[in-house]
Structure 1
């Protein structure tokens, strides 16, 4: 895996096709059928300094700004996404410091500065998980909180065939691969499906202690949607999303 190739491929996708095709997952949702409104991982953010890793179109920053965070910062690999974020936040009467950079790289974010760093369905794009977690730890004050969500690795291993769940991918395989999320086959992304233990061990190495992990599907949200699609049926049987709240020691 050449990380520069991954940067180029993924940033191009978000600057072009992904800018319109993929609907971003934003707070108060952490992913499919998991919400902040139920789990309250952030608590009261009023007066706190927050940094979002992979801030995309800025709507999660908007959510935090409307909850009276004192400072909003965001970093994203896509300049086009940051332009959309700036426009959106301005239209909401909010402002944020936005930085275009891969999350793995040094980019001028202050150290020992933030109360909370968070990432909604973005942390899995990193080409260097341990390095990224160490950078995030450096941005946080002592006892600062890191919250992130991503696609649950078991979700990527199982497909629905004839109303049955079937394994079609090895859980232990963390190699990078190419995928086109667009049904028309336009655009390409590069991904790696990491094991849960890979995330847990990387957090520990960076000096975090895990306070809470969520991987269950919210039954109330499922019932409200009354969804009988393969996606929803899969969610009733196994986790699609995981969320971790960790604290810097």
Structure 2
């Protein structure tokens, strides 16, 4: 790939930088490419974003989106190494389930939870596909920087709705779409791509490659509505106290002072 012909981009709000260009992508290619990356070096490079953090400078401890989950059944979409499951298990969830596209991440999650004295039903599968998750079963479904990888947003949200009990809650976070539209050049922020461009991007990352699609906020909102959800809360502001406590002067912190880098949505199944 010719790096001079493509844009520099922050991957998912971590501050790491890769290289991207827009092309049309086949779903199977997306799954194969991304699962290979997470099977090999994903966690080592991107550093997992896990609860109580929803992403850069947004936390459950400040937002309190879950509330008391004692005795509740929870399903995580894209569990990674299992640290968010640990967080929920230590808050007395009655059952923990999770799905992840990467066999290696499922193995890591199982090992991590075992070391913590916790257990979960872990399933290796793309989130878009039928994989044996029970219907009308869960009190909460959540996803921390994972649901944005789906190749079928509407289909995935419909599946998530089917997993939840009536009045069940779906909480997810992802990189704010405006964040990936902005580049830092010579100490200034400039638009590098159209906010309305939702095409898939191959992103070169540390000798590997990921495939991402930048979706508009309205795309997420409309897909939730179509799946039968009502949005109860949306968070896109940066928490100044969290930022200041870390004395973070990175490019990501500078961005977060100017525009959202993470968004979180809490929705309820009707």
2:159 corresponds to 1:135: yes
Which of 54, 60, 72 matches 1:48? Answer: 72
| Partner of residue 192, structure 1 | 213
Q: Distance in 1 between the 2:195 and 2:64 partners?
A: 30
Structure 2 residue 256 is the aligned partner of structure 1 residue 232: no
Say which SS state the counterpart of residue 172 (structure 1) adopts: coil
Matched, 1:181 2:202: no
User: SS in structure 1 opposite 2:51?
Assistant: coil
* 1:13–1:19 Cα contact (<8 Å) kept: no
1:24 aligns with 2:48: yes
Q: Secondary structure at the match of 1:236?
A: helix
1:89 is aligned, of 113, 116, 119, to: 113
Matches within 5 A, 1:139-150: 139-150=163-174
Query: Counterparts of 2:45 and 2:250 in 1: how far apart (Å)?
Result: 21
User: How far did 1:166 drift?
Assistant: 0.7
1:245 equivalenced with 2:266 (yes/no): yes
Q: Which residue matches 1:223? A: 244
Residues 25 and 121 in structure 1, CA contact (< 8 A), matched pair in contact too = yes
Pairing of 1:207-218 with structure 2 (within 5 A): 207-218=228-239
Determine whether 1:202 maps to 2:200: no
- Using the alignment, how far apart are the partners of 2:178 and 2:97 within structure 1? 32
Distance 2:178 2:110 in 1: 35
Residues in 2 aligned to 1:113 and 1:227: alpha-carbon distance in whole angstroms: 41
Q: Which runs of 5+ in 1 are unaligned?
A: none
TM-score (norm 1): 0.98
Classify the secondary structure of the residue corresponding to 2:139. strand
Could you tell me which residue of structure 1 aligns to residue 192 of structure 2?
A: 168
Give the superposition deviation at 1:215. Answer: 0.1
**Deviation readout 1:91-135 (Å, 9 max, x if unpaired):** 000000000000000000000000000000000000000000000
Per-residue CA deviation, residues 179-236 of structure 1 (Å, 9 max, x unaligned), is 0222xxx111000000000000000000000000000000001111112222211110
SS in 1 for 2:71: coil
CA-based RMSD:
0.7
State the match for 1:118 in structure 2.
142
